[in-house]
Chain A
């Protein structure tokens, strides 16, 4: 129960939240959706409740947290029971429909078997690496060891003095960093009454598995589950993923939130589903609550999906505005924590301090062409390293070319280009940040570039398979679930 207790509670809360938001509607792979996203959504909700409990209740924060969590669960349960199921919501959303997708009969099962074997090999390899990390990196890598766990200890050991984590003396511990991971870590410790070492590893496993299942879900939603199995296997077999998957740092949860926001957002656009856009907004906000890079990600999501709703969607204007507002409503809950943290608790970011004023900003961006060249070359050099990526960025470039040449009509209908646009915009944002860094640029790139590229690899992976994988729907092989 050490680990299961807090996980089951979070899963229950997340399930009720997602069911209230979208679960009573009719859409493809509805049950699979709830199974994949409930636990991560629940952990986000718990971290938000924990943060506000500490802000509002101070020394009594742990008690307030459990009270708020139970109240939120009860309120959601009442709302869910009262809300009627949308017509057609139970049809094909059950396990029979899911089984038909996973185990088709005849020769059609061959791509599923191949994808399933690749995914199984990837899971076994990742599992072995997880046990290796558990043995030799029990406390996690640098950021986890010295920053995230330290902040979690402020939550756990001193509710009355938790704000000391923002003291200027601890400037080296990045007091402006969002607090999803420390809050989630503190949740498991508060539940057990001690600083359980296995708990951060359990959270890490949750997000790794959820990321794999998310990829499968996205393509099951697209009626091409076999592509999802292969894409998930491709991700697990990439060395770069294994290196960062179990470090207990915030990068893997951020990858999940980015992938979830993109996948659910695109699904919501394609299905014309406002509730799915609400959930996409929720995970977009969770990305910002997880790491500062998520704040950039919010802008890109609003730019791309807002642009699609404004210009690329054939629905009536009022309906499109409602859909956009739903996205913003989902964004609001986790973003409220980020805004409060940045405005009232944390000192200004070291990047913002370094780039004060337009003149300084222009100098940093354009006055050093050698620095710019170094940054671009670093991106290129790392992306073309075959051992890390299994050629992911080559396939991305190929998919981009294929899409631009042959799939523009399909893109206009299904907006698959949005995934590529998000991946490229994320990298553009990181290039901008490197120009503004107050740190030594070589050191900064060496210590962060692989992780930043991993973030943008999530929409890139979905884009590759969305564009290049053989679409069986045109041959009428898969039936809707």
Chain B
């Protein structure tokens, strides 16, 4: 078995340099900080591994009360506290609702005959209905329900 250090001086310098650099890479990796903040939830993991997903709320579950009124497919408007803006504060409401109601498509720029109304309270809902040209058709909760386009 050949020693790695047999051979010319240049080869030996190269070998030593490579070993030093390899050791530096190794030490840099081994000293990596562990920034993990929280504990593991064993019940969640157990239910996921068992395929029992019902104990974990899906994204958009807050929109479940609307489901029985929706068609299997089609398009509805979506009215929330603020007009749609990609950097808007309430944008996750639209995203969650859309994810939950696929394949129904929710239009964030309401122009459809029927719209899903999801506002924080009835005062904001009234304001938004006036802005978008809709009238309240059904109430599910304070600021929430369905609206139809005014003719």
- B is bound to A: yes
B59–A149 contact, CB under 8 A? yes
Q: Is A99 an interface residue (CB 8 A)?
A: no
Question: Which of A45-53, A57-65, A157-165, A325-333 lies at the interface with chain B?
Answer: A157-165
A114–B103 contact, CB under 8 A? no
A468–B25 contact, CB under 8 A? yes
A247: B residues at CB distance < 8 A = none
B33–A128 contact, CB under 8 A? no
Task: State which of A129, A134, A443 has its C-beta within 8 Å of the C-beta of B44.
Answer: A134
Q: Is B9 an interface residue (CB 8 A)?
A: no
Q: A164-B105, A169-B105, A406-B14 are in contact. Are A132 and B38 (CB under 8 A)?
A: yes
Q: How far, in whole Å, are A299 and B65 apart by their CA atoms in the complex? A: 49
List A residues 82-139 near B (Cβ within 8 Å): 106, 111, 114-115, 118, 121-122, 125, 128-129, 131-132, 134-136, 138-139
B28–A167 contact, CB under 8 A? no
- Name the residue on A nearest B37 (C-beta): A132
B19–A170 contact, CB under 8 A? no
Number of A-B contacts (CB under 8 A): 157
B28: A residues at CB distance < 8 A = 234, 390-391, 395
A338 → chain B closest CB, angstroms: 23
B103–A149 contact, CB under 8 A? no
What count of chain B residues pass the 8 Å CB interface test?
Answer: 56
Most buried by A among B22, B39, B106, B108: B22
Q: Is B102 an interface residue (CB 8 A)?
A: yes
Q: Is A351 an interface residue (CB 8 A)?
A: no
Task: State which of A2, A114, A138 has its C-beta within 8 Å of the C-beta of B26.
Answer: A114
Task: State which of A129, A157, A237 has its C-beta within 8 Å of the C-beta of B36.
Answer: A129
Most buried by A among B33, B56, B94: B33
Q: Is A191 an interface residue (CB 8 A)?
A: no
Q: A198-B49, A230-B25, A237-B32 are in contact. Are A146 and B95 (CB under 8 A)?
A: yes
- Encoded as 1 (CB less than 8 Å from any B CB) or 0, chain A from 451 to 481 comes to 0000000000000110011111011110000
Q: How far, in whole Å, are A227 and B26 apart by their CA atoms in the complex? A: 10
A359: B residues at CB distance < 8 A = none
A150–B102 contact, CB under 8 A? yes
Task: State which of A138, A172, A230 has its C-beta within 8 Å of the C-beta of B22.
Answer: A230
Task: State which of A167, A233, A390, A398 has its C-beta within 8 Å of the C-beta of B21.
Answer: A398
B45 → chain A closest CB, angstroms: 5
Q: Is A197 an interface residue (CB 8 A)?
A: yes
Q: A129-B36, A150-B98 are in contact. Are A135 and B30 (CB under 8 A)?
A: no
Q: Is B58 an interface residue (CB 8 A)?
A: yes
List B residues 5-48 near A (Cβ within 8 Å): 6, 11, 14-15, 18-19, 21-22, 24-26, 28-36, 38-41, 44-45, 48
- Name the residue on B nearest A230 (C-beta): B26
Task: State which of A111, A121, A128 has its C-beta within 8 Å of the C-beta of B40.
Answer: A128
- Name the residue on A nearest B15 (C-beta): A470
Q: Is B68 an interface residue (CB 8 A)?
A: no
List A residues 401-430 near B (Cβ within 8 Å): 402, 406
B103–A161 contact, CB under 8 A? yes
A169–B75 contact, CB under 8 A? yes
List A residues 226-242 near B (Cβ within 8 Å): 227, 230, 233-234, 237-239
A198–B51 contact, CB under 8 A? yes
Q: A134-B45, A169-B107, A196-B51 are in contact. Are A121 and B102 (CB under 8 A)?
A: no
Q: How far, in whole Å, are A122 and B31 apart by their CA atoms in the complex? A: 11
Q: Is B73 an interface residue (CB 8 A)?
A: yes
A385 → chain B closest CB, angstroms: 12
B31: A residues at CB distance < 8 A = 390
- Name the residue on A nearest B96 (C-beta): A146
B33–A153 contact, CB under 8 A? no
A168 → chain B closest CB, angstroms: 10
Task: State which of B30, B58, B99 has its C-beta within 8 Å of the C-beta of A146.
Answer: B99
A468–B99 contact, CB under 8 A? no
Q: Is A145 an interface residue (CB 8 A)?
A: yes
Task: State which of B2, B4, B58, B105 has its C-beta within 8 Å of the C-beta of A139.
Answer: B58
A/B interface sample: 30 pairs, CB < 8 A: A122-B29, A128-B40, A135-B38, A135-B45, A136-B41, A138-B48, A138-B56, A146-B99, A149-B59, A149-B99, A157-B102, A164-B105, A169-B105, A170-B98, A198-B49, A198-B51, A230-B22, A230-B26, A237-B29, A238-B32, A239-B33, A387-B35, A390-B28, A464-B25, A465-B25, A468-B22, A468-B25, A470-B18, A471-B18, A476-B2
Beyond contacts A150-B98, A194-B53, A468-B18: 18 other A-B pairs, Cβ-Cβ < 8 A, are A2-B51, A111-B22, A128-B40, A131-B45, A136-B41, A149-B59, A158-B73, A161-B73, A169-B106, A170-B98, A170-B105, A234-B26, A395-B24, A398-B21, A464-B25, A469-B25, A470-B4, A477-B2
